[in-house]
């Protein structure tokens, strides 16, 4: 906090001063929060875990690469996309690791964003400076999101670089765009958990309580939610004599229940982008399948398929941020 006060009063080599000589506090807080994240032990530990698991998945995909590439495979030409989806059974793929460990990274960066400042008594001291109240919350979110974006793009491009060295074939423009779109969707996915943990840090006074609440929500959607949906599916399973339209409606209903979970939205979007042969995320009738040619879809068509999933992730992130913003603006910060 002393760094914030020093930069607000004096600036740092003039980097935070605008043209009229006034220091913008938003930039000061963002830079301070990014520095705190990058130098914190929990961030270093999470980065080490994610990097090790991603490199482990890259090793398993490369070791199984020759067996996975087949002459008649519609996706045989997309070598680099297989680096993110292949697995030999010993370790999950890169996409599965991001789906599992990404929420933990977002939670670790946001569960004590506000309540720790309040418990230390530094929140009221920062608000005593010429800073708008919303600057603090917005800066904490922007700083954490910037750190996550840098990490994900660094890991993704590092996987591409290692694949280029080992395979010896450069990625096509379509592959590069698909990988970039997948990394952007991964950032939106982790941003949801980041905003959820920030919301709990605003609602709860203790950092341990907000961390446990965030992890509880993550465990519910990761482990228990699919079990609940399976129980509902077994309870309302249609009879064997049901019509095809009724069966398709039943399958769509179960799929829509599963898509309430953010991890399922991310899995659907990532699978469609990294596997161009995926033409639909729901059941298809015989009339829809008839005449279809098993060929990879262009990137634009794949983005149209995953647009509802991407919209759902952005909407959930926006709702969590709006709730945390409303709660923080109405909160009393002068009392400890």
Name residue 23's beta-bridge partners.
17
The DSSP 8-state label assigned to residue 23 in this structure reads B
Total residue count of the chain as it appears in this document:
336
Q: How confident is the model at residue 77 (pLDDT cuts 50, 70, 90)?
A: low
How does the average pLDDT of the chain come out, rounded?
80
The DSSP result for 129-180, as a single string, is: SS--HHHHHHHHHHHHHHHHHHHHHHHHHHHHHHHHHHH--PPPHHHHHHHH
336 has a pLDDT exceeding 60: no
Mean pLDDT of the 193-207 span: 90
1 has a pLDDT exceeding 50: no
Where would I find the H helices in the chain?
Answer: 2-10, 25-39, 41-63, 65-68, 79-85, 94-110, 115-120, 122-127, 133-167, 173-203, 207-219, 225-235, 244-258, 262-274, 286-289, 299-329
Q: How confident is the model at residue 8 (pLDDT cuts 50, 70, 90)?
A: very low
Q: According to the model, what pLDDT value does residue 182 have?
A: 92
φ/ψ (deg, to 5) at 16: -95, 5
The DSSP 8-state label assigned to residue 35 in this structure reads H
Q: How confident is the model at residue 192 (pLDDT cuts 50, 70, 90)?
A: very high
């Amino acid at each position: 906090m002393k760094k914030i006060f020093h930069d607000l009063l004096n600036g740092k080599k003039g980097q935070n001063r605008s043209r009229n000589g006034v220091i913008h506090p938003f930039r000061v807080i963002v830079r301070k929060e990014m520095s705190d994240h990058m130098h914190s032990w929990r961030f270093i530990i999470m980065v080490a875990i994610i990097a090790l698991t991603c490199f482990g998945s890259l090793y398993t995909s490369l070791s199984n690469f020759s067996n996975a590439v087949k002459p008649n495979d519609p996706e045989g030409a997309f070598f680099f996309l297989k680096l993110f989806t292949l697995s030999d059974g010993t370790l999950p793929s890169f996409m599965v690791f991001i789906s599992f460990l990404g929420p933990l990274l977002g939670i670790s960066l946001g569960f004590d964003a506000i309540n720790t400042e309040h418990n230390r008594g530094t929140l009221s001291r920062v608000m005593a400076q010429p800073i708008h109240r919303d600057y603090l919350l917005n800066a904490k979110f922007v700083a954490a999101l910037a750190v996550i974006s840098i990490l994900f793009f660094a890991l993704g491009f590092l996987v591409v670089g290692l694949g280029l060295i080992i395979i010896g074939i450069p990625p096509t423009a379509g592959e590069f765009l698909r990988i970039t779109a997948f990394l952007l969707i991964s950032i939106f996915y982790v941003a949801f958990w980041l905003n959820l943990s920030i919301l709990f840090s605003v609602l709860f006074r203790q950092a341990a309580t907000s961390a446990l609440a965030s992890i509880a929500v993550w465990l519910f959607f990761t482990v228990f939610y699919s079990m609940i949906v399976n129980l509902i599916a077994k309870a309302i399973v249609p009879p064997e004599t049901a019509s095809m339209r009724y069966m398709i409606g039943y399958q769509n209903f179960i799929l829509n229940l599963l898509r309430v979970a953010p991890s399922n939205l991310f899995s659907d979007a990532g699978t469609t982008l990294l596997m161009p042969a995926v033409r639909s995320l729901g059941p298809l009738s015989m009339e829809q399948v008839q005449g279809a040619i098993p060929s990879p879809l262009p990137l634009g068509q794949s983005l149209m398929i995953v647009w509802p999933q991407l919209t759902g992730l952005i909407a959930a992130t926006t709702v969590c941020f709006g709730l945390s913003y409303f709660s923080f603006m109405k909160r009393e910060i002068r009392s400890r």
